[in-house]
A and B are shown apart, each in its own frame.
Chain A
Amino acid sequence: MHILFLSCLKASELIEKKFHFGLTFSEKIQLKMHKMMCDACTQYEKQSVVLEKGIVAMQKNNASQADIEGLKKLITEKLSHNEK
């Protein structure tokens, strides 16, 4: 790979690495250079942020109302059963 020029595949991988781990100094420079020339990867980065937020929101909505009282009863029964 060229020292300065990343492929889009590698650039998009670095974008994920950046979000999840952080980049080294030279990776930062490489990515910056690439994004200056590449609109698609610039869009990829923006979209990746939207998707992250969307996943968080999606998982929050998951907490549907379940039968909590039934669950409490079940657990209490199991606990007293184990005591004996």
Chain B
Amino acid sequence: MLQANTINLTEMVETYTSELYSWALHKVSDSELAKDLVQDTFLAAAEKIENFKGESSPKTWLYSILNHKIIDIYRKKINQPVNLENQSFSKFFDEDGSWKLENRPRDWHEEEGHLLDDNEFQVVLRKCFDALPEKWSTCVKLKYLSEKNGEEICQELDIATTNFWQIVHRAKLQLRDCVEKNWFRN
């Protein structure tokens, strides 16, 4: 029996390593970390192989192990309270909460959707995204994990729902401002 399981797992490594790696990399944006995650996934799978009764496909089973590991990474990153200091708002808004004149969102003329096909725009966006505080960018990325909605993610991370979209709000304000200044005004 053990022999058969070992063979199965070796086959799984052969079949699924590539796509598990792409998924992990897509989620954590760090190739070394992604490799470690895939490796840990198979090691955890080896330990739990007796529990795997073939009720789900091997693929689903491996993805669920990997996703738990990815969520753990995010959870560690967000574990400390997120600093929502008002400084970040005063950069964009007056005291009465209206947009500062120099930071008012302008029309990007994005009706045709050309912007996202533009490689240079992608470069600017990536630079601006990388410039975000890690916790903010983590929260924004988090949204795309397993296509879950915000509420579910917050439950998994044990953070209050208000916190989550407020963090996304701040991240977006900063990202928006950075993109507009670097792309539209140069």
Q: Report which A residues bind B (CB closer than 8 A).
A: 7-10, 12-13, 16-17, 19-21, 40-41, 43-44, 46-48, 50-51, 53-64, 66, 68, 71-72, 74-76, 78-80, 82-83
Instruction: List residues of chain B with CB within 8 A of the CB of A57.
Output: 116, 122
- Let me know if A71 and B168 touch, CB within 8 A: no
User: In the complex the two chains form, what is the Cα distance from A54 to B122 in whole Å?
Assistant: 7
Give the dominant DSSP class at A's interface.
Answer: helix
Instruction: List residues of chain A with CB within 8 A of the CB of B164.
Output: 20
CB distance from A8 to the nearest CB of B (A): 5
Give the dominant DSSP class at B's interface.
Answer: helix
User: In the complex the two chains form, what is the Cα distance from A17 to B110 in whole Å?
Assistant: 22
Contact status of A59 and B17, CB under 8 A, knowing A7-B96, A41-B105, A54-B122: no
* Interface residues contributed by chain B, number (CB under 8 Å): 60
User: In the complex the two chains form, what is the Cα distance from A50 to B105 in whole Å?
Assistant: 13
Q: Which of B25, B99, B169, B179 contacts A51 (CB 8 A)?
A: B179
Instruction: List residues of chain A with CB within 8 A of the CB of B126.
Output: 58
User: In the complex the two chains form, what is the Cα distance from A51 to B128 in whole Å?
Assistant: 11
- Let me know if B21 and A47 touch, CB within 8 A: no
- Let me know if B97 and A8 touch, CB within 8 A: yes
